Chain A
Amino acid sequence: MGSLEELQCLQGHSDRVWQVSWSPSGDMLASCGGDRTVRIWRHDAANPERWLCTAILEDTHSRTIRSACWSPCGRFLATASFDRTTAVWQHQGGVWEVVAMLEGHESEVKEVAWNPNGGMLATCSRDKTVWLWEVQPGHEYEVVDVKHGHSQDVKTVRWHPLGEVLVSASYDDTIKLWVEEDDEWVCAQTLAEPGVGHASTVWEVAFDAVGERMVSCSDDCTLKIWGCCRADSGEQQWTLLSTLSGFHDRTIFSVDWSKQGLIASGCADNAIRIFGQEGGGEQDQVDSAAATPGVWGLFMQQDSSRRPATGSSSDKASSSSDSGVATFRLLSTRQPAHPLDVNCVRWHPTDPTLLASAGDDCCIKLWRWHAAPT
């Protein structure tokens, strides 16, 4: 149990804020949105508790900037736009400039993601493709591969923390996992079987700190927790561990997993919810569906659902597993977190109880998670 305390509301954008992204060291927050700008926020030197806007990146994209992502070294920021391009910005001494423009997508670019070692960028678009770019010296970006496979708008791309796997999710309700094979990228797995995969658009995915589990959020109002097993051949095989349903009544647009294991979700009902695994205690077992057989028997998977949310703070997800790896409880609901849709939630990389959120209300909010004393 616990609660979210609102620390600050960052205003300045003149249109909905689509995404926020923390720099790797956590000293800066980048936000982007419908006003075609990126804002960079930093601690106020005079008042370290407050954040202020220290830079506005504009006059580059001609349409909405949908996504912003920092390079692992923190020196570069990539921005993906509805104008079909992805820009790479470099900052030095407070000065920001565009060092590269990546063209190729045939329609709106929805997300850009740097791989963990900073050597590659992935982008995805409404044109149904995922593009992989390799970073070359001199701010050159070379296309490595163009992946078809999704049958609809690809909403998100995200890298596994170890960098071997790229995940994409789409309006076509599927999640695809891509791996490199002889200089080409292939779709190693598609998470989409009836009763297992999501029943509607998958908006975002997030990995836990070590990359053993993944959470996905969807227009079908559920969060799904996936776990990874390694086959004899060394390949990863992802299976469904549990489904958290009955907690959200509207589309879940964003999900993020903190270093301490908390899952935050941003929803079209204007709320932010925090889920966590708390050891011990009774668990509700309601309407457990038949177990989905595990590939290697490491986890006992159950696809479970519960009664419709009553809004009580004792709501629990009903799922069970031998090792409890997928037993999540709803710890807190902050409603309304924004007066309109919450588009993005992101945990701070080094301060595990600091959360940023972005909304259709043109604002960014900073939150502090207070766990209830045990």
Chain B
Amino acid sequence: MAGMGNPRPAEAAGTDIFDSALHLEEQHIHEGYQDGLQAGRRSGRAEGKALGLQKGFEVGHEVGYYSGCCQLWRQLQTQDPQLWSQRVDKGIAALEEMVADFPLGNPRDERLQELMDGMRGKFKALLAMMGLQHAYRPPAQQQQQQSEGGAAGRGDPASFDF
């Protein structure tokens, strides 16, 4: 190319004054890519955060629901110690333990689904033992009913918008 001749030794390679012109397209592609990456990060983070909040709420809501039920049942029990059979009493204790042990602070715990299944099963079994299936509905089922257009619960927290 005319005018190239011997490059001055002091100049580092690639800082030729014509570089920006020669590599314009690649530069634009690179810049565009970086811009896109940044924009993607921002929107992905926003979406992830929203999803995380929603899922976190659902999990917390369900665990809290079971915890609340246990507290209520215990209160009823202090008023009438003969209320529940020994088997029910053992079941409530088991559910309380599961609630206490649930890793609310660790969303990455591998056992999350398994532990949730265990609590759901124990809760359903307790309801059946107490004969209260129709009085209570586990939150997961409430949400399902909502989405299927079933009877809406009053002020159901699952409909909160975070």
Contacts and interface: CB of A to CB of B under 8 A. Distances in A.
A144 interface: yes
A262 B156 CA distance: 56
B87 interface: yes
Interface string A111-154: 00000000000000000010100000000001111111100000
Nearest to B130: A143
Contacts of A183: 90
B76 interface: no
A104 interface: yes
Contacts, number: 33
B124 A103 contact: no
Contacts of B90: 183
A106 interface: yes
Contact of B128 (A103, A147, A148, A149): A103
Nearest to B124: A146
Given A106-B141, A148-B118, A142 B124 contact: no
A148 B120 contact: yes
Contacts of A131: 125, 128
Nearest to A106: B141
A103 B122 contact: no
Contacts of B125: 131, 143-146
B128 A129 contact: no
A146 B124 CA distance: 7
A143 B117 contact: no
Interface in B69-125: 87, 90, 117-118, 120-122, 124-125
B39 interface: no
A129 B133 contact: no
Interface residues of A, number: 14
B152 interface: no
Interface in A301-348: none
B121 A146 contact: yes
A104 B121 contact: no
Given A103-B133, A104-B128, A147 B141 contact: no
Given A103-B133, A104-B133, A106-B141, A143 B120 contact: no
A149 B127 CA distance: 19
Nearest to A185: B121
Interface in A145-172: 145-149
A144 B126 CA distance: 9
A104 B87 contact: no
Contact of A145 (B121, B133, B141): B121
Nearest to B129: A143
A143 B117 CA distance: 17
A105 B128 CA distance: 10
Identify the interface centre among A106, A144, A148, A183: most chain B CB within 10 Å of its CB. Answer: A148
Contacts of A148: 117-118, 120-121
A146 B121 CA distance: 5
A302 B90 CA distance: 46
Contacts of B117: 148-149
A131 B125 CA distance: 8
A145 B125 CA distance: 6
B110 to A, nearest CB: 16
B139 to A, nearest CB: 14
B121 A129 contact: yes
A154 to B, nearest CB: 13
17 contacts: A103-B128, A104-B124, A106-B141, A129-B121, A131-B125, A143-B125, A143-B128, A143-B129, A144-B125, A145-B125, A146-B120, A146-B122, A146-B124, A147-B121, A148-B118, A148-B120, A148-B121
**Shortest 7 CB-CB distances between A and B: which pairs?**
A148-B117, A146-B121, A143-B128, A104-B128, A146-B125, A146-B124, A143-B125
Given A143-B124, A146-B121, A146-B128, 20 more contacts: A103-B133, A104-B128, A104-B133, A106-B141, A129-B121, A129-B124, A131-B128, A142-B87, A142-B129, A143-B125, A143-B128, A143-B129, A144-B125, A145-B121, A145-B125, A146-B122, A146-B124, A146-B125, A147-B121, A148-B120
Interface of A: 103-104, 106, 129, 131, 142-149, 183
